[in-house]
Structure 1
Amino acid sequence: METELVKGNKQEEIKRNTSKVYFFIIAIAALVVTNVYFYVKFKSSGEKVYALTVEKENLEVEIDRIEAELDKMKIENVQLSPPLVEKELDARNKIVDLRAKLARKELSQSDIDYAQSTITSLKSEVAYFTLDVNRLIQENKILAEKNDLLQKEVSESSNKISDLKNSNLNLASKVNVAAALKVSNIAVYGLQEKRNKKLEIEERAKRVDKLSVNFTIADNTLAKEGKKDVFVRIIDPQGNLIVNQDGNTFYAHGEKLQFTFKDSLQFTNHGEEYTLYWTGDNKFVKGAYTVLLYSDNAIMGRSTVVLK
């Protein structure tokens, strides 16, 4: 009896131990399943975050490329039309908005999808914008070439006009020179005025009262008829120009000259003879007096008288 009781107790203890083992096995299995669940869950979540991060970086690279394309247009230094300026501003505003959204710490897949869609649209817009700008650059180059050609033609025309003006000036100068009056003969005499007011030629300096300049103007078909001013320069025996106190001047051959006196005559272009008189402020002295006649900015002729 005692033996059977012991056997029953042992069997009962074995059953309890077996139950405990099963419990631990079931608990361990549940723990393993839970760990596997959380491992898979966290692994999936980590991969998703990593994937979103990679996509975000790729999108930022795309945005950088788009912005670089816009900046390239500025390097071209092209004056954009108002519509193109508006397109560029719109694109840059979208870039700023995209960068702000991608800079947020928590991004969902929908945020990434929206950004991707916006970038695709932006790429298309910038592509068309680039085409428009390149077309504008080509048009500007063509206009610049045409402008250079036009400037060259204008410059050549200006040079031709300048050459023509110079030619006309040279011709006019030659005509003026050719039209200047010239004397065919000229003679200077010393004159003494007698008591009866009669003038006689005198060679002795102390008796000379005035000089007489007699000349004939040669015919000139290029010279205009009419009143002519004649400027007279008289050089005394000491080689000094005799001038009055006013120091009057005129121009001849492009030079400014002083004159002794001037007179006017009527040019008829018929070989007329003329006589001019000059009375000095001082007594005449012995030696040679040289007389030069000028008209129309050129010398007409010269002659010398020697007083004894």
Structure 2
Amino acid sequence: MNNILPQSPENKPINSNSILKAALALVILIAFCLAYMLFESKETMANQEEVINAKVMELANTRIKLDSITFQLDQQIAEVNQLGGDIGELQRAKAALEQDKVELTKNYSLEIATIKENFNEKIKGYETILRSKEAELVKLREENEQLSSENSNLKSEKMGLSRSVDEIRARSAEVASQNRVLKEKVTKAAALRVESLKVIGVTYNGKEFEDDRYKARKLEKIKLSVQLVKNELTEKGKKTVFIRILDPDGSTLFDTDMGSGTISMNGQDIGFTIRREINFDNENLHYDFIYHRGIPFRPGNYAIEMYAEGFKIGAGGFEVK
């Protein structure tokens, strides 16, 4: 007969504690995994946004080129038809071009390199057709001049065709206007933007300090510590940044000896306090700008505005007591 030993009462708490610890460890592991997945998701979304912005710009540039070729084809078709030439090849080229425009809108998911490879060769082909037809147009113009002197009836036909050309030009002007709007949107998306702007006071002995309010008797200079936004659409290279500091009365601090001047914004000339050149490489995005007033700052609230490449890129302010 087997001897069955009764379970010791001391064993039950030990087993319960072990299960509780294991469950707690599992919960902690799951929370860590969820946090890691959330971080990876945010990183992926940021990378996707950069790729989308670059792809939008490439698609816009390609569309502008295709619209430009359409405009030139329309002009050649109208003129060749007016001069009595064969417009069959030009019409086929235009039909293919319109299909390429449709394909461009469908190929949004393609990589940028694939878009360039697919459409650059097509664009070169259309440009070759335009050049070859231009030589034919020269000959047609000469022949038409001879025929015009022999047949006066062509004048009435030319008047009707002229109206067609005017209509085409009107449509082409509308397309050109739409392209300008699209180009402006692309330019705005590529503009510099300020992510953060800190105002740091500098005393007469060169000591820097950051405060919500600065004492006028201590404040000799201000340092603007600026962090720009990383933007793959922005062209790298030298950029001119204009800084406008407005006093408590709303007037621009202006001193030509310190480099003050005026810039045109939205068709209006405005004054700026200082301007600085920066070398934008889309990597080192922190810049410091020093403004030496020369005379004591008046008490009150000061506003700061920053401009670059025709756009307002940031703003801030500080108070002097």
Return the TM-score normalized by structure 1.
Answer: 0.51
Which sits farther off after the overlay, 208-217 or 164-173? 164-173
Q: CA deviation at 1:237?
A: 1.4
> Conserved in 2, the CA contact under 8 Å of 1:225 and 1:267?
yes
Equivalence for 2:288: 275
The 5 A counterparts of 1:109-120 are: none
Q: CA deviation at 1:201?
A: 3.5
Equivalence for 1:52: none
> Conserved in 2, the CA contact under 8 Å of 1:193 and 1:199?
no
Q: CA deviation at 1:270?
A: 2.6
Structure 1, unaligned stretches of length 5 or more?
1-138
**Cα distance between partner residues in 2 of 1:175 and 1:254:** 20
Q: CA deviation at 1:298?
A: 0.6
**Cα distance between partner residues in 2 of 1:149 and 1:271:** 62
**Cα distance between partner residues in 1 of 2:277 and 2:289:** 10
> Conserved in 2, the CA contact under 8 Å of 1:252 and 1:297?
yes
- Bigger radius of gyration among the two: 1
The 5 A counterparts of 1:131-170 are: 140=152, 142-170=153-181
**Cα distance between partner residues in 1 of 2:222 and 2:156:** 73
**Cα distance between partner residues in 1 of 2:208 and 2:164:** 71
SS of 2:170's partner is: helix
Return the TM-score normalized by structure 2.
Answer: 0.49
Q: CA deviation at 1:271?
A: 5.9
Q: CA deviation at 1:258?
A: 1.4
> Conserved in 1, the CA contact under 8 Å of 2:202 and 2:209?
yes
Which sits farther off after the overlay, 157-166 or 235-244? 157-166
SS of 1:241's partner is: coil
**Cα distance between partner residues in 1 of 2:234 and 2:266:** 17
Structure 2, unaligned stretches of length 5 or more?
1-150
Equivalence for 2:111: none
**Cα distance between partner residues in 2 of 1:230 and 1:253:** 17
Equivalence for 1:200: 209
> Conserved in 1, the CA contact under 8 Å of 2:201 and 2:208?
no
**Cα distance between partner residues in 2 of 1:170 and 1:253:** 15
> Conserved in 2, the CA contact under 8 Å of 1:216 and 1:271?
no
> Conserved in 2, the CA contact under 8 Å of 1:218 and 1:271?
no
Task: List, as ranges, runs of 4+ consecutive aligned residues in structure 1 with deviation greater than 4 Å.
Answer: none
> Conserved in 2, the CA contact under 8 Å of 1:252 and 1:294?
no
**Cα distance between partner residues in 1 of 2:288 and 2:250:** 24
> Conserved in 2, the CA contact under 8 Å of 1:232 and 1:260?
yes
Q: Percent identity among equivalent residues?
A: 26
**Cα distance between partner residues in 2 of 1:268 and 1:148:** 57
Code of the aligned partner of 2:262:
T
**Cα distance between partner residues in 1 of 2:166 and 2:183:** 25
Question: How many equivalent pairs are there?
Answer: 168
